[in-house]
Amino acid sequence: AAGVIQSPRHLIKEKRETATLKCYPIPRHDTVYWYQQGPGQDPQFLISFYEKMQSDKGSIPDRFSAQQFSDYHSELNMSSLELGDSALYFCASSSREAGGTDTQYFGPGTRLTVL
């Protein structure tokens, strides 16, 4: 079965640079989520989109922005990178289920290293 695709899988950037992470959800999934997982920590929710509209927002820094496109893929744009942004960034996708919450399926993650 097709899974969530994230690119790139690894990214190395310098401080103050920008980075763009991409996420391609499972086919026919309409909701995308972004999470950040620091070393030895649990994943922290950043933001989600349903049908190309922002749905829920967590602890996403103002330096970060995201959007979902017409083909349902999503991009997380990160500017003015800081050392503390070094983390594993997960994208997850789900299919809207009536009257309930959706099971989120995660991609393999993008490991971002800021030097």
Partner 1 sequence: AQKVTQAQTEISVVEKEDVTLDCVYETRDTTYYLFWYKQPPSGELVFLIRRNSFDEQNEISGRYSWNFQKSTSSFNFTITASQVVDSAVYFCALSEADNNAGNMLTFGGGTRLMVKP
Residues forming contacts to partner 1 in the complex (CB under 8 A) are 30-31, 33, 35, 41-45, 48-51, 55-56, 58, 88, 90, 92, 94, 96, 99-109, 111
Residue 32 beta carbon to partner 1: minimum distance, rounded to whole angstroms = 8
* 13 versus 102: smaller Cβ distance to partner 1: 102
Cα angle at 72 between 67 and 74, to 5 degrees? 35
Residue 16 beta carbon to partner 1: minimum distance, rounded to whole angstroms = 27
- Classify the phi-psi angles of 106: left when phi > 0, otherwise alpha if psi is within -120 to 50, otherwise beta: beta
Residue 41 beta carbon to partner 1: minimum distance, rounded to whole angstroms = 8
Residue 36 beta carbon to partner 1: minimum distance, rounded to whole angstroms = 11
* 79 versus 106: smaller Cβ distance to partner 1: 106
Strand partners, 20: 77
* 79 versus 111: smaller Cβ distance to partner 1: 111
CA separation, residue 75 to residues 40, 99, 111 (Å): 25, 28, 15
Tokens in use for 105? 């399926």
Give the pairing type, strands 74-78 and 64-68: antiparallel
* 94 versus 114: smaller Cβ distance to partner 1: 94
